[in-house]
Amino acid sequence: MKDERPDVLTIGQLAHRTGLPVRTLRFWSDEGAVPPVARSASGYRLYDAESVARVELVRTLRELGLGLDDVCQVLSGRTTVAEVANAHVAALDARIRSLKVSRAVLSTVATRGSTAEETALMNRLARLSAAERKQIIDEFKKEVFDGLDVDADLRDRLHTFSIELPDDPTPEQVDAWIELAELVRDPGFRARLRTWMELNTPAPGQGRPPGASIWWARHVVQTVAEVRERGVTPEGPEAAEMLSELFDGADRAAVLGSLKAGIEAEAERYRRLVARVRGQDSSPDATEELEWLARALRAADHTEVDPAG
């Protein structure tokens, strides 16, 4: 029959023309994606020029990740390339999000040297639904913020405070969420943060507590960073002078109590994790500056109590 139709190609010739293996073309043919146009007298499959174009289309769609079932539906006219592509984009987006989560979990496991049990927990936290993530944050907010004696405006801000992981998070955001979720579910952390909030939250009709300026005004941290860069020690006279400028007339014992509570509560870690989950830029970690300031306050207090010391 090939002699009668010189325009047709054997499967071997089709393979040579398209650069694809014979076994691939045979599989596509068996699945109905590239059916033969005829058969030789010996029963061999024969193809034509249109078959070559069809093979190129199948190859393109397969390289884009479409399954043969979708390819056959397009070729048979039961659907369009655009419709299949749209569905495939959605599937790819879901797959990409899943891969980002997997990458973030594995990266965290590698960094921490986590056990199998810790890895399983992190994976569950990373794959929580939006509703499940919200429930964790709502429970945390209720325990830490509810019942604080604060003015109405601040109370509203605390109740509407949210920590949202976007639908398409970066690996860095997923990594931050894993760490944050572990942190806010820790009863010890919640208790420490509650204590810190009570020490630093202004009551109705009153000004900020003495230590609140450390946390609500970053200029304190910036001032400490500048003197540290100059090599000033927390026990020296220059540090004492800086304290007088920063906390003139304030109850330094209250300032130190607030500062210690914030350090113990890991308030800086919490602040930076929230910013990372939200995809926001945050100021640098100020833990070292705050610890230096605590040393300076303790040294100043010791000097005032025992000048000869």
Would you call 103 helix, strand, or coil by DSSP? Answer: helix
Q: Select, from the ranges 113-117, 156-160, 165-169, 189-193, the one with the highest average predicted confidence (pLDDT).
A: 189-193
**Beta carbons of 224 and 289 less than 8 angstroms apart:** yes
pLDDT-based confidence at residue 184 (cuts at 50, 70, 90): very high
Q: Which residue has the higher pLDDT, 164 or 152?
A: 164
Per-residue CA distances from 191 to 107, 184, 205 (Å): 30, 10, 26
- The pLDDT tens digits of the residues spanning 71-112 come to 999 888 888 889 988 888 888 888 888 888 888 888 888 888
Model pTM greater than 0.75?
no
Tell me the sheet residues that pair with 38. Answer: 46
What pLDDT score was predicted for residue 1? 46
Tokens of 3: 């002699």
- The rounded mean pLDDT for the chain is 86
- pLDDT > 70: percent of the chain: 91
Please compute the mean of the pLDDT values over residues 21-44 and round it to a whole number: 93
CATH topology for 9-67 is: Multidrug-efflux Transporter Regulator; Chain: A; Domain 2 (1.10.1660)
What pLDDT score was predicted for residue 84? 85
* CA 199/CA 169 separation, integer angstroms: 35
